[in-house]
Amino acid sequence: MKRVGVAILGLGVVGGGTYKTLVDHREFYQKTQNVDIVVESVLDKNTARLKELGVPEECIAGSIAEVVANPAIDIVIETIGGVGVAKEFVMMALKEGKTVVTANKEMISKCSHELERIARRNSCGLYYEASCVGGVPIIRTLLDGVQANHITEMMGIVNGTTNYILTKMAQDGADYQTALKEAQALGYAEFDPTNDVEAFDSTYKLSILSSMAFHTKVPYTKVHREGITTVDAKDIAIGKEFGYALKLLAIGKNSADGVEVRVHPTFIPAEHPLASVNDAYNAVYLRGDALDDIMLYGKGAGAFPTASAVVSDVIYAATHSEIKYSTFKNNATADSNVKFISDFSTAYYIRLSVVDKAGVLAKICSVFSKYGISIVEIAQKGRECENSDVVPLVIITHKTKENAIRNAVAKLKVSELATVESVIRVEA
């Protein structure tokens, strides 16, 4: 039986879950995978955490140099996070010919071109299933499940924190701050939730997944990004009346016109499979030219769901002698012949506050007409205050260009015909 030694860098939530999974399932992997995976070394300065997990004294490393110099270690697992120390340690491991498994979406999104170059040079692997969508095997699916297809579209709920917040706002009518505090109390959101709620996390993941799905480098800087901090519970409630659910979606499209990548709050029809993905769960919806539509769904974070993805990469690396690298030219920037679409087309939900008097609606419609925007539906809601002559006006457009909407909204603001309260994109 093949024996494979591993080291774990960082024993936080994911690292601890990975350690427990490898130790507890060692015999199971021997029986089912015909490989003996041994945790040879762990590196973490938190001695209390080491004791809590029951790490044997002889397995505790004093430095990264000690880890990479150990000939018994074949695979190094990085669960530190970030791009500073984590990147430095991973580079050291790769330079010593150690295969690396990581859950670090920011590092992979920003630095995979550097890391893969070192891995190729030293004939070792770089695996990162756990970097995207937790325990959901989306990367393995893209590599080994749907490779017969040209993937033309992907839409995903890839961040559990924001999905939980939006679920609470939709189900309980809570405002954003209340839902955020609840997410923090439950451990779904960090004390500083910026990375999640401003959609940086989702942007990194979309960069990775769209690069793999479309077989071309999609730098995270090419992703249009908007978070959920300005989402109003009023819009979620009104959207329900129109038959929509609001989700923070990571959207990638690949067509003859170019590549389109964006992350933002999005209304989708209530009957869409993604609309029923609630709480901290994640899902990715793929469209291929041969298989049509497929959706993967599951827990997108947590110690053991993410550890499941980490260990699956460890097992894959341990049982496959041939190393797979990117199917595209993995450089720091995109290929010069790839066009990225910023003036994308979609439908829009627009909520305005307008003065309830004759002629205003006609003038607003003329602004939209000027920019070639076709309107599907207009609904005037009741006054929010009896003594006010201002009423909410909701407009749903046909699919139109992003720049046309921006120009129309800017014109409305200048004309003082209406106060633009919210603009939310709508996907079928």
Q: What is the pLDDT of residues 137-174, one digit of tens each?
A: 999 999 999 999 999 999 999 999 999 999 999 999 99
Per-residue HEC secondary structure of the chain comes to CEEEEEEEECCCHHHHHHHHHHHHCHHHHHHHHCEEEEEEEEECCCHHHHHHHCCCHHHECCCHHHHHCCCCCCEEEECCCCCCHHHHHHHHHHHCCCEEEECCHHHHHHHHHHHHHHHHHCCCCEECHHHCCCCCCHHHHHHHCCCCCCEEEEEEECCHHHHHHHHHHHHHCCCHHHHHHHHHHCCCCCCCCHHHHCCHHHHHHHHHHHHHHHCCCCCHHHCEECCCCCCCHHHHHHHHHCCEEEEEEEEEEEECCEEEEEEEEEEEECCCHHHHCCCCEEEEEEEECCCEEEEEEEECCCHHHHHHHHHHHHHHHHHCCCCCCCCCCCCCCCCCCCCECCCCEEEEEEEEEEECCCCHHHHHHHHHHHCCCCEEEEEECCCCCCCCCEEEEEEEECCEEHHHHHHHHHHHHHHCCEEEEEEEEECC
Q: Is the pLDDT of residue 385 over 70?
A: no
| Residue 205 bears catalytic tag | yes
Mean local confidence (pLDDT), 23-43: 98
Dihedral sign of CA atoms 283, 427, 194, 78 in order: positive
Q: CA torsion, points 82, 83, 85, 91, in degrees to nearest 10?
A: 130
Q: Which domains does the chain have, with CATH numbers?
A: 2-131 (3.40.50.720), 138-299 (3.30.360.10), 345-426 (3.30.70.260)
pLDDT band, very low/low/confident/very high, at 4 (cuts 50, 70, 90): very high
What are the tokens at 139? 């990367």
What are the tokens at 341? 């679409």
Mean local confidence (pLDDT), 292-310: 94
pLDDT band, very low/low/confident/very high, at 356 (cuts 50, 70, 90): confident
Q: What is the pLDDT of residues 203-227, one digit of tens each?
A: 999 999 999 999 999 999 999 999 9
Q: Are 61 and 41 in contact (CB under 8 A)?
A: yes
Q: In the chain, pLDDT over 90 holds for what percent of residues? A: 93
Q: Catalytic one among 87, 98, 168, 205? A: 205
Residue 232 and residue 211: Cα distance in Å, rounded? 32
Q: Judging by DSSP bridges, how do beta strands 345-355 and 400-401 pair with one another?
A: antiparallel
Mean local confidence (pLDDT), 265-274: 98
